[in-house]
Copies of this chain bind each other. A is one copy, B any other.
Amino acid sequence: MIKVVLVGTGNVSYHLQKVFSQTAAVNLIEVLPGRSDFTNILSGKNASSEKIKDADLFIIAVSDDAITEVSKHFRKCDKLVVHTSGSISIKNLPKEIRSGVFYPLQTFSKEREVDFKTIPICLEANNPKDLKVLKILAGIISNAVYEVNSEQRRALHLAAVFVNNFSNHLYQIGNEICIENNLSFDLLKPLIMETASKIDTLNPTEAQTGPAKRNDTGTIKKHLEQLTTENQKEIYSVLTHSIQNIYGKKL
């Protein structure tokens, strides 16, 4: 059984608490807020000290900005200490400790259930033995465990901005167009789901369709006239050009 202490009370911590509680192979012995009195807790002078002394690892699931600060308190800790962030290097943890990264690549919010079995967990550790511990822990909750170094993780986090943040923004523009035309956004939802599902079996190059790929300049011109804001027109143009470049066609 792996004994875990979670640090932080945000979305990632919330979902890790849930999934750890559901398995007998993990003992979640404590959840400490990010602003806990770590000095006293870790030196044995606090009510939590007794509980956490048997921990195998501490998972620091706080905001990116707070990781360096919170992890400083663990400088004298002899346990494995990992963070859960996509964009923060393992080097931001104190050099003198057994450090690692346990990054679940998903968008988390407290209102939505997630199925951890399908969530890729990206692991890194500064020694092979600790990497093994992380692999065991990740393998208990997920079927998609990957070893990913800090540089790759940073790239993944950036890729996630494109496929998550930016795609959602395109949904928002779709919603704006619906509102302007007295249409329900529900009309677009099955298309959005199918677009995402399609790349499970086709790669995005094969899955691409539409006027930009076909170089259908008549439709592109009409679309640009139809759009009501300069912002929408700019996004349409930039993405259309980018698709045309891939398929070797230009306006």
User: Which of the candidate stretches A36-44, A46-54, A123-131, A147-155 sits at the interface with the other chain?
Assistant: A147-155
Cβ contacts A132-150/B at 8 Å (1 or 0 each): 0000000000001010100
In the complex, the count of this chain's copies comes to 2
- Cα distance A105–B109 when bound, in Å? 30
Interface residue tally on A, bucketed by range: 35 or more
Contact B198 A112 (CB under 8 A): yes
Query: How far is it, in angstroms, between the C-alpha of A173 and the C-alpha of B223 when the chains are bound?
Result: 23
Instruction: Say if the beta carbon of A164 comes within 8 Å of chain B.
Output: yes
Chain B residues near A165 (CB-CB < 8 A): 208-213, 239, 243
Closest Cβ–Cβ distance, residue A62 to chain B (whole Å): 15
Given A183-B148, A238-B238, are A188 and B204 neighbors across the interface (CB < 8 Å)? no
Whether B226 and A166, one on each chain, are in contact in the complex, defined by CB atoms closer than 8 angstroms, is no
Min CB gap A61→B, angstroms: 16
Q: Is A122 an interface residue (CB 8 A)?
A: yes
> Which of B158, B166, B203, B211 touches A185 (beta carbons < 8 Å)?
B203
User: 17 A-B residue contacts at CB 8 Å?
Assistant: A107-B194, A107-B209, A112-B201, A120-B187, A122-B187, A152-B181, A152-B183, A159-B174, A159-B178, A160-B191, A162-B171, A163-B171, A164-B210, A165-B239, A166-B235, A171-B204, A175-B205
Q: Which are the 8 A-B pairs with shortest beta-carbon distances?
A: A165-B210, A196-B196, A172-B204, A159-B177, A155-B181, A159-B174, A171-B204, A163-B174
